[in-house]
Structure 1
């Protein structure tokens, strides 16, 4: 065989990476993390068409909701995609209160039966905890994030009460251990905002800015209402408590019909609230039983406060919630267009938001509320 024939033969057999068979590409994709898919789609058109549709669940916090409108299926609203992702995981009781969530776990409170349910939203398994002492408990929280080894139920109706349960060596939940606060202490000022763990202590915030404190190491003492701070210094309609990523205890104060919005931080030396003028690039997701402050890479979402008020109702997509190598993604059940993420791409704001320092804030008029929901975080 001459040199010309050898050259012709080798060129006809040579194939580049874009010519890989689609079934081989799919096998490769099944072994890659979800976060690598955008890079795969950027290689070439054949690779982009081979990537199945999926929506990463960790880009921003999601609004987990189950509106009582004929369905009890769990939905996750993404402010980034402006879509509802609905999965076939239904609440046992349509009237169940969504209390808290850690990673793929969801805890609900079913009244008047005083039943607490712990659900795994990926596997679909549901565990029933021991029955609560009565139906007055209106908050349930974890103290250690995704580990979820201890759970607390809090009653703020009249006097402050708290009970707790923990996972034993057999991975079963113990009976609830109830304690009343000394001297039947009354709630500082109704309504109470969401409870938050800060510095190993559990804090409750009254509407007037006063704080109630619970020390898990002194469970029998229950809650103690602190002498300071005594007020915010101004009136507010709604308040939400949060511990920031830097460990600051902060409160988001929402005025009537959405304005004004003030953000205050607790000066723990002087024990007084001080107004925060800038979020320093961070984003607040609030307005539910859970409030989160996160650093997000999406430019248009930075330095803003988001509340669950939508300017139009989003598309709902039936999906599976799939876990792969520690990453969660929503995978549509049937077809759909592929989703390609582009760094720095701007999206229209579809949820009510406010930027500290802006003079004119959009009102709640023209928005629709998302009820029965909490913010959840899949980024860890």
Structure 2
């Protein structure tokens, strides 16, 4: 006769019951559960945390290709079965779990908000007007911006009670003679509730949603940071500072600058203080990281070696997202040393070899950071 349950202890819990318990616990608790005993370890399936660093979302052909996420920490591509069923759509921006796209249908431009976790896709009402940039604030506001020669105009759509407005609101044209050419790879940036754009000469344009009809205002300051550069990316730091990255075409980091909002001048940043920067796409992100080889580095979507692909599901448990392999034969690997993705440090001698790396086309950085403490 087998001993009573209270005498057999927790180690004898049925595997099905343990799996049911695990499905209700955050992913970060699974390693400690696996370390409890041999029996518990057998029911803890391998998983790859999605929050360890920003990921490169890559879709070769929107509407027909499964979504892929490249992890610089694992140097692997995680392919999920979900597709974004909007053929020929253009990736515009990312914000948390949402991806914003746009596509043309006849003479209309339609903006799309896609939830990357549950797969819900929502089309906003069409507009007979083209956009150079589309940005979503992650809550209730969507903006389309035209920034071509002699034109700087913004249109707005606001979500109320789960529904988007049927009409986009146009602002006034800034000027018939506007000379403001933004970086094609830098999305406008929300900062203290305002929307900023960076031009190639170092100037900023700012838009106040509460004064929508006035459109963008081109500021007298800041001016050029004082050196020549080819590529530039505007972003807001993890501490709420407006910053910019300036690069040359060969991948040399020229400077990281912070806007002094009292003097309205660019000031050079000498240290990332252990943070990491992910740039080179329409979204630039600064994050705190405990991964030592990522600290004080700037990462670009350029790879030296093509990574392996794992078919998986993206699963949310208690605000934590993880990639769960579909095959039981896949074992969980540790992180890599960062030699597979091109990056550079703050010093003049800390730029890795740019030549020999291949650009990761049609991609955007997304950040699935933990939603729980």
Shared fold per TM-score greater than 0.5: yes
Separation in structure 1 between the aligned mates of residue 277 and residue 183 of structure 2, nearest angstrom: 21
Secondary structure at the counterpart of residue 250 of structure 2: helix
Q: How many residue pairs get matched?
A: 365
Separation in structure 1 between the aligned mates of residue 196 and residue 156 of structure 2, nearest angstrom: 15
Among 125, 129, 132, the alignment partner of 2:124 is 129
Runs of at least 5 residues in structure 2 that lack an aligned partner in the other structure: none
Secondary structure at the counterpart of residue 306 of structure 2: coil
Separation in structure 2 between the aligned mates of residue 240 and residue 279 of structure 1, nearest angstrom: 16
The aligned counterpart of 1:118 is 113
Secondary structure at the counterpart of residue 167 of structure 1: strand
CA displacement 1:259-304 (0-9 Å, x = unmatched): 1342111111221111111000111111111111110111111111
Q: CA RMSD in A?
A: 2.5
Secondary structure at the counterpart of residue 203 of structure 1: strand
1:172 and 2:167 are equivalent in the alignment: no
The aligned counterpart of 1:184 is 176
Among 186, 195, 212, the alignment partner of 2:188 is 195
* Structure-to-structure mapping, 1:177-326, within 5 angstroms: 177-192=169-184, 193-326=186-319
Secondary structure at the counterpart of residue 98 of structure 1: strand
Runs of at least 5 residues in structure 1 that lack an aligned partner in the other structure: 1-8
Secondary structure at the counterpart of residue 180 of structure 1: coil
CA displacement 1:221-270 (0-9 Å, x = unmatched): 10111111120211111111111121111101121220134211111122
Deviates more, 1:15-24 or 1:252-261: 15-24
Shift of 1:349: 3.0
Change (3 A) 1:218 1:271: same
Separation in structure 1 between the aligned mates of residue 19 and residue 66 of structure 2, nearest angstrom: 30
Separation in structure 1 between the aligned mates of residue 114 and residue 63 of structure 2, nearest angstrom: 21
Separation in structure 1 between the aligned mates of residue 348 and residue 11 of structure 2, nearest angstrom: 49
The aligned counterpart of 1:142 is 136
Shift of 1:328: 1.6
Secondary structure at the counterpart of residue 112 of structure 2: strand
Q: Per residue, is there more helix in 1 or in 2? A: 1
**TM-score, normalization by structure 2:** 0.90
Shift of 1:362: 1.6
Deviates more, 1:328-337 or 1:283-292: 328-337
Shift of 1:14: 4.9
The aligned counterpart of 2:154 is 162
Separation in structure 1 between the aligned mates of residue 97 and residue 84 of structure 2, nearest angstrom: 15
**TM-score, normalization by structure 1:** 0.89
Q: Mark the structure with the bigger radius of gyration.
A: 1
CA displacement 1:83-140 (0-9 Å, x = unmatched): 11112222334432111223322211113641111122222222111112312x0211
Among 62, 66, 69, the alignment partner of 2:59 is 66
Separation in structure 1 between the aligned mates of residue 201 and residue 351 of structure 2, nearest angstrom: 23
1:357 and 2:350 are equivalent in the alignment: no
Change (3 A) 1:22 1:96: same
Deviates more, 1:345-354 or 1:267-276: 345-354
Is this contact kept in 1: 2:74–2:336, CA < 8 A?
no
Change (3 A) 1:70 1:351: farther
Shift of 1:185: 4.9
Change (3 A) 1:373 1:180: farther
